[in-house]
Structure 1
């Protein structure tokens, strides 16, 4: 398994090293443009260099004895691992020119390291570009004849399937996958697996009428085609049917899907069900099939899966991960899986998640780091985070109308409202918000945050004099506050303001509050220590009953009617705005 990858001037990695654990599945996660796909692309380019070297220079092309040899050139039309506008896009900032440190022009380098039989092995390729011609040579290797070298295969999100797929050679298959058209070669891959299975069955039969039970058991547990069919039966109650194919006669590969009842290794087709061509199956089925076709193949050691969860329902995403982990362990494969799926990242163990980010990449140390990761921290494309970097002020709120209420009350009371407070809406508890705060603080020094949440069904005794939450361990610059009333809307149920917003008489509002909700609003309404009936009233239901918005009611308050708790929070936000 590959344990370390080093890049020099490859795409956004001017110089970068990534250390991977020898686990079967590693989940690459991070913001957009963080480099997840580039890591996979770099490994795909390394694999291409390895294959091209074998084809051009023979079996000893990248052994230790090959160091110092001249490189060989390829035309841009022969480069197939990934799709690029031009080959110069392989280089960081498109700069391919040689410098003092690399006078021969081989400026881009990709190095992989893995554990060999007795010692750590490594193989490094360097690339040069001249007149749209790509030159490749091994620049560092300790490989000896017979040393196994990992074989990597990249699979982008599924696309490109057609009704007619002809038999194509390996180089063209790699090009199609590199172009993001894995569907264009899926039937070829399935046919290869099926024909290999037929040959193995014939070998095991060896002239007998049937395969022995022990041989059949081993075949079903290890053969790629058998494993794929079993996974299809278990997941989709389906099997693949490969049509006859003779290269001298057939032009296209026929693959159909049959569905029915599954019992053990047997699928009984549903009554009156006619098998359908592979192409008409849903995108989720085809995405899953392309992933597991590659995962079960015996000739791949390292699977590079770029967002394999695309098109999959959340339930199927989790199931796919479980099956991949089981299959990778059974077949001793390494899987590097790049994903944005919160469904996947929420369920997998933190030690399997490798966060790719500009300021230091690595495996998560604990579950708390998942919170910041799922919030998009580290992404180059996060406008909210960009604002926080500029203002260094963060305000956690629960409801979509909370900011509008606070702004209106600030205007009425004459307390300054600072737009530097960047709102972050979430129903998560203070503890989880604290994880987000700490994750953002790693990127934004001197960050200050307030976390406001409703009391809901918790007791009054959990709220302190300044609305701090009792029992919460203080964190520097992270101010935890809880409304003394059940909801922030509880500070809006003032008959005069309600009557203005609802277009009813104040007397009618008072009657409805008394008769429908058992609430009587008196002089103590604005006080922090109001009667328990006021503190605990279900204000959201009341506002819905009157069919008025929170902000609209707030706009009809006067300065001397605004509740003390609201004033307390507004003053705290004003003094901490910086």
Structure 2
């Protein structure tokens, strides 16, 4: 029996109002800009799987039958693969009566089955569970009959697995049976059973060795323990030899090798008519030279269906016809995601500009600066242009090559991998890591910087929740800037309005633990904490305490983009006019427009925020204030002598 996923439809689900995806039967690469919704597609597939499992009867040969008045449920707390701060975030159009719909069309030996679920939240309680109902009950019944007639159970028919970046594996891995290994894979911690997956298929170990050898272009040999060791030993011991290197334990191998073994061993271990493998950013731990080899091998595996998310042009270059899907705003507006033609690849590459830096640019740069996203780099470049007009600069930002990390999640792993990759071809560079502070306390921020310094990089965190929050790190400069929008009013009146809005709309309510504003921030913190190792021992109470230093509230530390947007809209209400033209009141757009307006306002070096000056000193565009005064003094003495 062969099962393939032939269509996915997401309605009112997170960032998608209505999107239909038409994948091919074997290999699919989804690319697009940051925040386009690529990972949301994977989340939709995982949520559909949860609903599917919840509807299987105990006999495993049929589905629960429900009426309009009855439902099955999935626990909100069990959906940790969904990036949500509250259950309302699941819906594109939020509201008590709204439903999300996720329909997966499966092709079973040529016959189509539309297996869709309606998902809703309860009206009386938040963040507890979601109600789920089948859209077409008869489709589920027909599908069950088809599967059972082939001698299989419903839980054996479909296996969905998502690979995640593997930085390392357990040093000591206990022996487990196949059922225990399968459960670990389903929980998304497959790397914890890597050795067990390998020994489970010892009869085909030569095939695994051959595949990895072909990908690495180096001979790979596994030294497996005898079968009898499972009865006498507690832990699995596997040695590996790569090329002419010495034999070492599996956990001592590099992250790129482990990522490849993790993917291939899982594929080999799983056995189901539909093996759906979701691969999120395989380029994050695998060297560029090996990526095309990995793609070629995955494409050659016939009994699996792959979905790959990537920001890397290498995957586009090596893709075949009908394998690349470009998720854009246009695709969302058209409500369908279909494969792009091969001749469109150049257009896609231009749309993804900045993700891959050319070797020539990197080679010419003096500084390599890892940043969270492209916006950070564009802001700094715009400030650099203004600095050349208003003060003497000691260097140029063209000597800096920015490398986007696509967020702060697992930043240490990203920095380590990308620096290791780049240093293999680059020498004599100064490495910088520029990141947002967000919920970090001084202690957390200092510890993260210490660890980054341990990787021989110069860290810099913005003095505020995000780079745009820097505007609120010096209220005097902020007021001078705001006054330029309404210089027809008395300056004292404008200053008073700024103070009042900051106090009444933000500082006072956020300090009250019972306020809606404070609870919203707490939910956002809890949502971030799940994906941020540096926050593992941090509590929200610690974050709140960090907002006040020596009795002074540090406004910039709480000014996330929603709060910047709130400040701007409240100020505009008070002034009776808009500060700047924009297309919407989206938090991202307002924050960006305000920061860009500040850059235009810069006409005096004294209006440059101290933290931004510190960053440009670190990047050797500006000199230290004391050093600049010394230079000016020397120039004055030379002028008098002349």
| Equivalent of 2:307 in 316, 326, 336 | 336
In 2, distance between residues paired with 1:342 and 1:34? Answer: 16
Q: Is the 8 A contact 2:74 2:130 kept in 1?
A: yes
Mapped pair 1:155 → 2:158 = no
- Corresponding residue number in structure 2 for 1:88: 87
| Equivalent of 1:370 in 328, 339, 346 | 346
- Corresponding residue number in structure 2 for 1:73: 73
Task: Give deviations 1:488-528, integer Å, cap 9, x for gaps.
Answer: xxxxxxxxxxxxxxxxxxxxxxxxxxxxxxxxxxxxxxxxx
- Corresponding residue number in structure 2 for 1:315: 289
Task: Describe the shift of the 1:140–1:241 C-alpha distance in structure 2 as closer, same or farther (beyond 3 A).
Answer: farther
- Corresponding residue number in structure 1 for 2:34: 32
Q: Is the 8 A contact 2:54 2:73 kept in 1?
A: no
SS in 2 for 1:302: strand
Shift of 1:178: 7.4
Q: Is the 8 A contact 1:83 1:178 kept in 2?
A: no
In 2, distance between residues paired with 1:53 and 1:181? Answer: 24
Task: Describe the shift of the 1:184–1:367 C-alpha distance in structure 2 as closer, same or farther (beyond 3 A).
Answer: same
Q: Is the 8 A contact 1:160 1:181 kept in 2?
A: no
In 1, distance between residues paired with 2:261 and 2:228? Answer: 21
| Equivalent of 2:328 in 348, 357, 362 | 357
User: Any residues of structure 2 matched to 1:340-489 within 5 Å, and which?
Assistant: 340-349=311-320, 351-360=322-331, 361-376=337-352, 383=375
Q: TM-score, normalised by structure 1?
A: 0.51
In 1, distance between residues paired with 2:198 and 2:179? Answer: 17
Shift of 1:146: 3.9
In 2, distance between residues paired with 1:229 and 1:378? Answer: 36
| Equivalent of 1:231 in 211, 232, 235 | 211
Task: Describe the shift of the 1:10–1:237 C-alpha distance in structure 2 as closer, same or farther (beyond 3 A).
Answer: same
Mapped pair 1:166 → 2:174 = yes
- Corresponding residue number in structure 2 for 1:289: 261
Task: Describe the shift of the 1:83–1:313 C-alpha distance in structure 2 as closer, same or farther (beyond 3 A).
Answer: same
Greater Cα shift, 128-137 or 314-323:
128-137
Q: Is the 8 A contact 1:108 1:126 kept in 2?
A: yes
In 1, distance between residues paired with 2:261 and 2:246? Answer: 20
Shift of 1:282: 0.8
SS in 2 for 1:54: coil
Shift of 1:181: 4.3
Q: Is the 8 A contact 1:109 1:125 kept in 2?
A: yes
Shift of 1:365: 2.4
Which of the two has higher C-alpha Rg?
Answer: 1
| Equivalent of 1:8 in 7, 11, 22 | 11
In 1, distance between residues paired with 2:186 and 2:350? Answer: 29
Shift of 1:377: 7.0
User: Any residues of structure 2 matched to 1:129-144 within 5 Å, and which?
Assistant: 129-130=121-122, 131=125, 132-141=128-137, 142-143=139-140, 144=142
Provide the alpha-carbon RMSD of the alignment: 4.1
Unaligned runs of 5+ in 2: 148-156, 332-336, 356-371, 390-397, 399-642
- Corresponding residue number in structure 2 for 1:278: 250
In 1, distance between residues paired with 2:88 and 2:257? Answer: 33
Q: Is the 8 A contact 2:51 2:74 kept in 1?
A: no
- Corresponding residue number in structure 1 for 2:223: 241
In 1, distance between residues paired with 2:82 and 2:186? Answer: 5
In 2, distance between residues paired with 1:47 and 1:280? Answer: 35
Q: Is the 8 A contact 1:34 1:378 kept in 2?
A: no
In 2, distance between residues paired with 1:169 and 1:76? Answer: 30
- Corresponding residue number in structure 2 for 1:47: 49
Shift of 1:378: 12
In 2, distance between residues paired with 1:352 and 1:169? Answer: 37
Mapped pair 1:255 → 2:243 = no
Shift of 1:140: 2.5
Q: Is the 8 A contact 1:284 1:311 kept in 2?
A: yes
SS in 1 for 2:48: helix
- Corresponding residue number in structure 2 for 1:127: 119
In 2, distance between residues paired with 1:16 and 1:165? Answer: 42
Task: Describe the shift of the 1:16–1:85 C-alpha distance in structure 2 as closer, same or farther (beyond 3 A).
Answer: closer
Shift of 1:128: 3.8
- Corresponding residue number in structure 2 for 1:434: none
Shift of 1:91: 0.4
Q: Is the 8 A contact 1:309 1:317 kept in 2?
A: yes
- Matched residue count: 343
Structure number with the higher helix fraction is: 2
In 1, distance between residues paired with 2:111 and 2:377? Answer: 45
Task: Describe the shift of the 1:44–1:116 C-alpha distance in structure 2 as closer, same or farther (beyond 3 A).
Answer: same
- Corresponding residue number in structure 2 for 1:508: none
Q: Is the 8 A contact 1:31 1:377 kept in 2?
A: no
Shift of 1:69: 8.4
Q: Is the 8 A contact 1:350 1:370 kept in 2?
A: no
SS in 1 for 2:284: coil
Unaligned runs of 5+ in 1: 198-222, 261-269, 388-400, 409-422, 424-578
Task: Describe the shift of the 1:237–1:357 C-alpha distance in structure 2 as closer, same or farther (beyond 3 A).
Answer: same
In 1, distance between residues paired with 2:102 and 2:209? Answer: 37
Q: Is the 8 A contact 1:30 1:373 kept in 2?
A: no
- Corresponding residue number in structure 2 for 1:492: none
SS in 2 for 1:21: coil
Mapped pair 1:17 → 2:15 = no
Q: Is the 8 A contact 1:158 1:181 kept in 2?
A: no
Q: TM-score, normalised by structure 2?
A: 0.46
In 1, distance between residues paired with 2:117 and 2:258? Answer: 35
Task: Give deviations 1:92-136, integer Å, cap 9, x for gaps.
Answer: 3694x531xx6xxxx232110132335321211233445513444
- Corresponding residue number in structure 2 for 1:114: 106
Q: Is the 8 A contact 2:181 2:197 kept in 1?
A: no
Q: Is the 8 A contact 2:168 2:251 kept in 1?
A: no
In 2, distance between residues paired with 1:67 and 1:21? Answer: 34
